[in-house]
Amino acid sequence: MSRILLVSNSHHDRPTEYLTSWFDKIVAIAENQSDIKIIELKKEQSNKKELVDMIEKENPQLVIFNGHGGYDSIGGFNREILIKCDDNEHVLSGKIVHALACRCAKVLGKKCITLGTHCFIGYKEDFQLWTESKDSKEEHLADKTASLFLDPAYEVIIAIIEGQKTGEAFARSQNMYRQKLLESIANGQQETVLASIFHNMQHQVCLGDQTACF
Amino acid sequence: MENNSITQKEKELVIARLEVVSPELSFYVGGEDKSFSKQDLIDEINKDTNVGKEFVKTQLKFLRAMKDGSLMKVLVA
């Protein structure tokens, strides 16, 4: 195994449960690539100590966060702060980072790049999500409204796993946002929902090295 | 310079648009653990909470982008 992917799935409320369900699609894709080792920190494991220990022990090239965030931090299980500006952001140095968490690209992401993170992909403002509020993983994955938000958001990770450069992966994600918006307009999707997709698209950023590869 | 103040008419516009949203849909945002139904969002807007204000701003940006053509420019880029 030459490529190591570490993911934090905080999975402690409905929106983060949706993220975990959707992320399983990515796990399936990664498992088809024989050279990728996946390390998942889920629920209670998604805490600061286990995250930092695992980064130091396994030295993953790709670190993914699925949880809540703020401008200067990313949270784990029950909102425990995992990474925070001026505390431990240096542990992400030399890595490609994807954060499906609100706001954290704006301050934390920029700071990570100055401290040596190769590339930080995430959102400068809130990530907005509309769903049909289903309970089970199967229902989450069948939720067509959630797919308008989560398919384009995770497309960037799929592209990175498939070997594309970070800038290319970001462009692929942005193109899927466009595609979802155009399809939704054509299908008469409620404009109130479309506004949130447009919001996410406009606040998704790819900071740092656009040619980094996993 | 973006004008961050929200007028009563703008709030009413967003609420009118929310009224036609399917009752089966829930909205999640930011650091909020709870989901928001369309009625919850209408209440948040009427109470001028942060969630309500941000929701209105998102909707107004989208409407302005549709009106001035910038949405289409983004979509066909």
For the stretch A4-52, pLDDT in tens is 999 999 999 999 999 999 999 999 999 999 899 999 999 999 999 999 9
* Residue A189 pLDDT level (bands cut at 50, 70, 90): confident
Domain coverage including residue A123: 3-208
Report how far Cα A194 is from the mean position of its chain's Cα atoms: 20
What's the rounded Cα separation, in Å, for the pair A56 and A40? Answer: 15
Interface of A with B (CB under 8 A): 13-15, 68, 70, 79, 102-103, 126-133, 145, 178, 181-182, 190-196, 198-199, 201-202
Please count the structural domains in chain A. 1
Q: Is residue A53 part of a domain?
A: yes
A63 forms bridges with which residues in the sheet?
A6, A97
Helix (H) or strand (E) holding A80: none
Joined together, the tokens standing for residue B46 give: 């009427």
* Residue B77 pLDDT level (bands cut at 50, 70, 90): confident
For the stretch A198-212, pLDDT in tens is 999 999 999 999 999
B36 forms bridges with which residues in the sheet?
B27
* Residue B1 pLDDT level (bands cut at 50, 70, 90): very low
Residue A1 has pLDDT above 80, yes or no: no
CA distances from A25 to A83, A120, A125, A138, B65 (A): 25, 21, 25, 12, 33
What's the rounded Cα separation, in Å, for the pair B61 and A201? Answer: 13
Residue B2 has pLDDT above 80, yes or no: no
Interface of B with A (CB under 8 A): 17-18, 20-22, 24-31, 33, 35, 54, 58-59, 61-63, 65, 71, 74-75, 77
Residue B5 has pLDDT above 90, yes or no: no
Q: Is residue B33 part of a domain?
A: yes
Identity of residue A131: T
Closest CA to A8 of A76, A108, A80: A76
The secondary structure of A123-157 as a DSSP string is ESSPPEEEE----SHHHHHT-HHHHHHHHHHHHHH
Residue B3 confidence (pLDDT): 54
Joined together, the tokens standing for residue A23 give: 């992320």
For the stretch A134-152, pLDDT in tens is 999 999 999 999 999 999 9
Identity of residue B75: L
Please count the structural domains in chain B. 1
Residue B30 confidence (pLDDT): 79
Q: Is residue A51 part of a domain?
A: yes
- As to burial, measured by CB atoms within 10 angstroms (0-12 exposed, 13-18 middle, 19+ buried), residue A212 is buried
Joined together, the tokens standing for residue B47 give: 């109470």
Q: Is residue B37 part of a domain?
A: yes
Q: Is residue B2 part of a domain?
A: no
ipTM: 0.93
Domain coverage including residue B40: 8-75
**End-to-end CA, chain A:** 13
Identity of residue A81: I
Q: Is residue B34 part of a domain?
A: yes
CATH number of the domain to which A88 belongs:
3.40.50.1460
Residue B33 has pLDDT above 80, yes or no: no
Q: Is residue A213 part of a domain?
A: no
* Best of B13, B14, B25, B60 to mutate (most A CBs within 10 Å, chain A): B25
Do the Cβ atoms of A132 and A150 come closer than 8 Å?
no
